[in-house]
Amino acid sequence: AQVDPTALTRLSKDVNHLGPSYNTTVKLSSNNWTFNKTLSNLIRKNILRFLDPERDISILKGTLKPGDIIHYVFDRHSTINISENLYRLLPTVSPMKNQHHRRCAIVGNSGILLNSSCGPDIDSHDFVIRCNLAPVEEYFQDVGWRTNLVTMNPSVVQRAFQDLVSEEWRDRFLQRLQSLSGSVLWIPAFMAKGGEERVEWALRLILLHTVDVRTAFPSLRLLHAVRGYWLTNNVHIKRPTTGLLMYTMATRFCEEIHLYGFWPFPLDPQGRSVKYHYYDTLKYEYTSSSSPHTMPLEFRTLSALHRQGALRLHTGTCD
Binding site for ligand CTP (CB under 6 A): 108-110, 131-132, 153, 241-244, 261-264, 276-277, 295
Q: What's the closest the beta carbon of residue 241 comes to ligand CTP, in angstroms?
A: 3
Q: At what angle do helices 167-178 and 196-208 cross, to 10 degrees?
A: 70
Q: What's the closest the beta carbon of residue 9 comes to ligand CTP, in angstroms?
A: 24
Q: Which residue from 69, 66, 65, 64 is spatially nearest to 80, judged by alpha carbons?
A: 69
DSSP class of residue 261 equals S
Q: What's the closest the beta carbon of residue 299 comes to ligand CTP, in angstroms?
A: 6
Nearest-CB residue to ligand CTP?
Answer: 243
Distance CA 45, CA 268 (A): 34
Distance CA 176, CA 160 (A): 11
Q: What's the closest the beta carbon of residue 262 comes to ligand CTP, in angstroms?
A: 4
Say if CB 89 and CB 207 are below 8 A apart.
yes
258 is catalytic: no
Taking the least distance from each CB to ligand CTP, the nearer of 87 and 279 is 279
DSSP class of residue 59 equals -
Taking the least distance from each CB to ligand CTP, the nearer of 112 and 211 is 112
Taking the least distance from each CB to ligand CTP, the nearer of 210 and 270 is 270
Q: What's the closest the beta carbon of residue 210 comes to ligand CTP, in angstroms?
A: 27
263 backbone dihedrals φ, ψ, rounded to 5°:
-165, 85
Taking the least distance from each CB to ligand CTP, the nearer of 208 and 264 is 264
Taking the least distance from each CB to ligand CTP, the nearer of 175 and 273 is 273
Rounded to the nearest angstrom, the gap between the alpha carbon of residue 76 and the centroid of all alpha carbons in its chain is 23
Say if CB 256 and CB 40 are below 8 A apart.
yes
Say if CB 190 and CB 162 are below 8 A apart.
no
Say if CB 300 and CB 133 are below 8 A apart.
no
Q: What's the closest the beta carbon of residue 20 comes to ligand CTP, in angstroms?
A: 17
Distance CA 203, CA 201 (A): 6
CA atoms within 13 A on the CB side of 180: 30
The contacts of residue 58 (CB under 8 Å, 6+ apart) are 90, 91, 94, 95, 186, 216, 217, 218, 219
Say if CB 50 and CB 225 are below 8 A apart.
yes
Which among 277, 293, 306, 314 is annotated as catalytic? Answer: 293
Taking the least distance from each CB to ligand CTP, the nearer of 114 and 207 is 114
* Active site (catalytic) residues: 293
